[in-house]
Amino acid sequence: MLAEAEQARVRIAKNTHAEHKSRLGQFFTPAATARFMAGMFLPPASRPMDCRLLDAGAGVGSLSGAFLERCAAGGLRFERIFATAYELDERLLGEMERTLSAYAGPAPLDYRIRHADFIEDAINRIQFGGETFTHAILNPPYKKIPGNSRHRLLLRQAGIETVNLYSAFVALTLAMMAPGGQVVAIVPRSFCNGPYYRPFREYLLRHAAIRHLHLFASRSQAFRDDDVLQENIIVALERGAAQGDVTISTSTDDRFADLTTHIHPFDRIVHPDDPERFIHVPTSPEPDALALAPAIRYSLDDIGVQVSTGPVVDFRLREHLRELSGPGTVPLLYPGHLGGARAQWPRPDLKKPNAIERNAATEKWLYPNGFYCAVRRFSAKEEKRRIVAGVVEPQTFGAAPLLGFENHLNVFHERRHGLPEALARGLAAYLNTSAVDANFRRFNGHTQVNATDLRLIKYPSRAALITLGEWAKRQAAMLDQAMLDERFSTLAA
């Protein structure tokens, strides 16, 4: 029966225009992933009970079908199953009806399909005391919620502050669960870190225990029929339960052929002293190299360094940008100018401005020329490291008194001035190690590297970074990844 839903999913996914999917934030769940998600539910601990199942954004019914398939096979025993499936896309309702009706015989099932806006309906239920659910399985839509939209205002009425439909669906689902209710959802990993999702993380951790996290190693395979490059994660939650150890599993893709599973204490998932409540996903049973290194325990404040997003927002200052330097201009750096361990400027082949006018409108966005460590805010998917750091050297820009750093760069500085040369080189060398990359991947689920992320990384002492920078300068062009990683082992001791 689930095979028929899978055929419908593939057919509809191929024949649905990308604009339609984008407008609804619509991505269909493959059957193999649906079955894996259904397998994450724990069976009733005692005698059979009634199940009240919620599927929000149900599509063709693949997730409900996988859950009901497991029930029919005896994996989950319930006296009765009452399923409620929400779907806004009218074109999918017939397929969903066929999927659910096929299980009405093999499982003790009653179901209803709600062709309604889930956010509006859920908030009405929460405010006016609607029924609660014991189980929920969902692949919610993925789309930003404008700050002044009706959905954002409705969510605030329910005490939910979030920026995307997927996190709104999960939060509302949790709000409608009975105590001990289980939620399994496949969502983008972006909620695990970053300032925009902090209120959602706090809401999730306040109302539920994390039981299981599954990470797909490939960013392109979980929803490959929809050309999705967002890193996805499956999360299993238990409403109102005491937090304990967390199961972490990984697989390259939705074939689950190389599935690995480990158990981790919760303080390795959410660090107790982290005010941002970042959610880490360790892919090894052992703590990562940074966590094990007693010498790497300093914050940027401890070493007297700040990191900021590049202040030059090019589209706001477009009239002041110039293709090449000239009288009255100063150098402007984009991520493309970080071609390796050091900045390369100018680059006429870059198809980006190389200079910005120095005048009353731009002066406040410029930094004095000097040594800086710069990190790209976005890394390409084919790059081996998420964090790509380089050194900005003042001699590259001749007698230029000031520099512009474009908004797609992060800049390490001392109170908006340059760093000592050895410190800038040491920071770049440290950030380019494989150990820092592995640590960063534990809480960052996309290719964006924000200044907030860089502030939360632990660093060696200022003196150790300076020593590392002096060593890196001596290696010059010979410096490679193997040398950096070998040097890290002595730095961490």
Domain presence at residue 276: yes
Cβ density class 5-29: b for 16+ within 10 Å, e for less: bbebbeebbeebeeeebeebbbbbb
In this structure, what is the dihedral angle of CA atoms 432, 434, 435, 438, given to the nearest 10 degrees? 110
Q: Mind listing the pLDDT tens digit for each residue in 322-360?
A: 999 999 999 999 999 987 778 889 998 888 999 999 999
Q: Quote the mean pLDDT of the chain.
A: 87
**Do the domain assignments include residue 291?**
no
By 3-state DSSP, what share of the chain in percent is helix, strand and coil, each rounded to 5?
35, 25, 40
Model pLDDT for residues 25-63, shown as the tens digit of each residue:
557 788 899 999 999 999 887 777 899 999 998 888 899
Instruction: Flag whether 294 is in a domain.
Output: no
Residues with Cβ within 8 Å of 131's Cβ and at least 6 positions away in sequence, in order, are: 52, 125
The reply to whether 358 and 236 lie within a common domain is no
Q: Are residues 257 and 320 in the same domain?
A: no
245 and 307 belong to one structural domain: no
- 434 near 388, Cβ under 8 Å? no
Q: How far apart are CA 411 and CA 333, in angstroms?
A: 11
Question: Which of the listed residues 256, 286, 316 is the one where a domain comes to its end?
Answer: 286
Q: Do 166 and 274 sit in the same domain of this protein? A: yes
Cα torsion angle, 227, 231, 234, 238, sign:
negative
- Backbone φ and ψ for 320, nearest 5 degrees, come out as -100, 0
- For the chain, the domain total comes to 2
Q: Give the relative orientation of helices 198-207 and 165-175 as an angle to the nearest 10 degrees.
A: 20
| Angstrom distance (rounded) from CA 6 to CA 11 | 9
User: Is the per-residue pLDDT at 219 higher than 60?
Assistant: no
- Where in the sequence is the domain holding 111, given as residue range(s)? 2-286
User: In CATH, what number is assigned to the domain containing residue 467?
Assistant: 3.90.220
- Residue 31 belongs to what H/E stretch? helix 31-38
pTM of the predicted structure, to 2 decimals: 0.75
> Is residue 439 domain-resident?
yes
